[in-house]
Structures are given as structure tokens and as C-alpha cells.
A and B are shown apart, each in its own frame.
Chain A
Amino acid sequence: MDYKGDIYYIEQTLAGNSISFSYLVDRHKNKAYNLAFRICGNHEEAEELAQDSFLKAYRSLKSFKMKSSFATWLYRIVYNTAISHVRIKKKGVLSLEDFPADATDFIGSNTSEEEAEKDYRNALVNFALQKINEDERGLISLYYYEEMTAEEISDVTGLSKSNIKVKLFRARQKMLEIIEKIEKKNLIYHG
């Protein structure tokens, strides 16, 4: 179906046509879900957080001033909802031993070696993401998965551009350190 643009569906929703909001959900659900998942690291919680964020967006749609894009505004809601959820529900610290797998463990009956390698890398990144703090997790997700610029991230998080750059630099270093340690450990373990 022809998508008429976010503003059209926002106006329709505000005029009382609630069904129009489903077009906005359909368009942005994957990115919103992905951001929630990268921050909380759990599929069930991510679904709940993303749904909660869409409901918050629906309830406060009147306050959306259209100064930024709807996506940026929505990401801000998802980001804040997920960060505060993770802060309340602080999990125990993961040890490197919690990630015993290497690429061969991801080869299923229907997956190629290449697919298994991708899944392994994805799992590795998710693990490393859970080892850094929630703010850094959010920044990494916005920068790498959503491919946002520092300026766009600043709109979402409310942090200054220079602060974002510093935090991204630290988060990147921490993640690479964790990934390196796991890869080294797997190399020793599996020969």
C-alpha cells in the first residue's frame, strides 16, 4: 500500500481516526523494537518496552510539535523507556564464561557456515552490549544499528554532541575489549 507519510497519519490520528496510528506502528515497529532489544537484551522485555513506547507516543501525540521527525521523537520515547526499565531492573554482572559458544555452535540443520558466522557475531555483539552500561548500549544501538549521526543521537538522548562522541569512544573500546577476550578464550578452548 502507498504510504502517505508520517505527518498525514499523525493528523488523521489526532482528528480521531485511531486506526491511522497502525500505519505509524507498522512503519517504525522494527527499529523501535530493535532499539529496545539492544538496550534490554531480552526479546520478551523488548516487545513489552516497544509496545509501551508506542502507547506512550499515542497518548502524547498532541504534544508532538513536529519540530523533529516522528522517528526521532519515537526513538526518544523508546530510549528513555528502555533505559529507565534497565536501571530499575539491574541484572547481575555477566561473566565471560556465560558466552561459551563459537561459530560452530550456531550451525543448524538449515544454516550455511556463512549464516552461522553472522549469527555468532550477532550473539557476540549482544553479549558485549550487555556488558557495558545502559547509556552506552543505547548510544551504540543508535549509532550502528539505526545509523544516526551524533546530531540525531543528541536529539534523541538530550546529550551534547561532544559528550556523545566521548561516550561512544569509550563504549566502542569496552566492547572491542570484551569481544577480543571472548574470541581469544574460544581460540584457546577450541584450539
Chain B
Amino acid sequence: MDKQEKYEEDLLRQYIGPGKIENAPEGFTSKIMEHILLETKTLSVPERSWKKNLVPLISVAVTALLIASAFLIPHTHNDSLINPVLNLIRNIKFSMPEFKASSLFRLSLPSVTIYVFIGIVILSVFDRALYGLFHRAK
């Protein structure tokens, strides 16, 4: 820094100094925090409800898909790749009490419907319990 530059710098220092800082107005922090808290609320609420419903929605969709495919896939032996799987399922021996859905609801539903329904209810309850457990841990 040459002499002229130093002189000019010192000259300007007479007018400007760190002592003359313009302070932020009253309520500055609270205004910002209001914005931030509002933003946090609006961002987190939809995210939470979206996450909350995702797992039960997927399980219901997959179950519905499986039920639909069980009804829609033809019963002949060579027309589907899923037949070996279906055969395997048919050969599984259930040792569960037998419910007559038709006698319960006076509807002509296949007997497997009641098991599927109970399965969905158990899975949903289990899912809610896990959800509550993990969110409490947070």
C-alpha cells in the first residue's frame, strides 16, 4: 500500500468506522422465526401424513392385486407361468378353523376371503403398532 493509498484509507476512516453500525429493528428475530415455524409446519404436515399412509396403502394394493390375480388367472395347466406357484399354494394344508363366509354374510364369497380379510386386519394393526413405536422413539 503506497503513501497516497494509506492517506486516503485513513481519511475515509474518519467518516466510516465499525462503531457506526446500523442495528436491526425491534422484533427482527421474532419475524424471521415466525416465518420459519410456519414454513416448518406446512412442510412437515403433508410429509408426515403421506408417510403414515404409504405402508398400509401398499399392503392393501398388493393384497388386492394378489386376490384379483388368483381369480383372473385361468385354471388350465399350461397357460400361465404362475400356475406352479398357485399349485403350491393349493397344496398347503391350513390347520385353521373353517369359516363359512356365505353363512356369515349371506353372500356367495369364496371361503379364502375371510382369511384374506383377517390377514389384512392383522397386518394393519401390526403396521400401526410399529409406526407408533418408531415415531415415539424419534
Task: Give residues in A with beta carbon < 8 Å to B.
Answer: 18-19, 21-22, 25-26, 29-34, 37-38, 43, 46-47, 50-51, 54-55, 58, 118, 121-122, 124-125, 140, 144-147, 169, 172-173, 175-176, 179
Complex contacts, B21 vs chain A, CB 8 Å: 30-31, 34, 145
Q: Which residue of chain B lies nearest to A58 when distances are taken between CB atoms in the complex?
A: B36
Whether A25 pairs with B28 at a CB distance below 8 angstroms is yes
Dominant secondary structure at the B interface: helix
Whether A51 pairs with B31 at a CB distance below 8 angstroms is yes
User: In angstroms, how far is the closest chain B Cβ from the Cβ of A72?
Assistant: 17
Known contacts A21-B36, A46-B22, A51-B35; 7 further A-B pairs (Cβ under 8 A)? A18-B33, A22-B33, A37-B22, A51-B31, A145-B17, A147-B18, A175-B12
Whether B15 pairs with A173 at a CB distance below 8 angstroms is no
Whether B24 pairs with A172 at a CB distance below 8 angstroms is no
Complex contacts, B15 vs chain A, CB 8 Å: 121-122, 124-125, 179
Complex contacts, A34 vs chain B, CB 8 Å: 21-23
Complex contacts, A33 vs chain B, CB 8 Å: 22-25, 28
Q: Which of B3-11, B53-61, B73-81 contacts A (4 or more CB under 8 A)?
A: B3-11
Whether A47 pairs with B28 at a CB distance below 8 angstroms is yes
A-B contact count (CB 8 A): 86
Interface residues on chain B, size class = 20 to 34
The CA-CA distance from A179 to B16 in the complex, in Å, is 12
Complex contacts, A179 vs chain B, CB 8 Å: 15
| B40 on the A face (CB < 8 A) | yes
Whether B32 pairs with A51 at a CB distance below 8 angstroms is yes
Known contacts: A50-B24, A125-B16. The answer to whether A55 contacts B8 by CB under 8 A is no
Complex contacts, B108 vs chain A, CB 8 Å: none
| B20 on the A face (CB < 8 A) | yes
- The residue that B16 contacts in the complex, of A31, A140, A173, with Cβ under 8 A, is A140
User: In angstroms, how far is the closest chain A Cβ from the Cβ of B44?
Assistant: 9
Whether B8 pairs with A176 at a CB distance below 8 angstroms is yes
Closest 6 CB pairs between A and B?
Answer: A33-B24, A144-B16, A29-B24, A37-B22, A25-B29, A125-B15
Q: Which residue of chain A lies nearest to B138 when distances are taken between CB atoms in the complex?
A: A16
Whether A18 pairs with B36 at a CB distance below 8 angstroms is yes
The CA-CA distance from A181 to B12 in the complex, in Å, is 14
Q: Which residue of chain B lies nearest to A171 when distances are taken between CB atoms in the complex?
A: B12
Complex contacts, B22 vs chain A, CB 8 Å: 30, 33-34, 37-38, 43, 46
B residues 75-111 touching A (CB-CB < 8 Å): none
The CA-CA distance from A51 to B25 in the complex, in Å, is 11
The CA-CA distance from A29 to B5 in the complex, in Å, is 32
Q: Which residue of chain B lies nearest to A57 when distances are taken between CB atoms in the complex?
A: B32
The CA-CA distance from A55 to B13 in the complex, in Å, is 33
Complex contacts, B28 vs chain A, CB 8 Å: 25, 29, 33, 47, 50-51
User: In angstroms, how far is the closest chain B Cβ from the Cβ of A150?
Assistant: 11
Complex contacts, A121 vs chain B, CB 8 Å: 14-15
| Interface CB pairs A-B, < 8 A, 15 | A18-B33, A21-B36, A22-B33, A25-B29, A25-B33, A29-B24, A29-B28, A51-B32, A55-B32, A121-B14, A121-B15, A122-B15, A146-B18, A176-B11, A176-B12
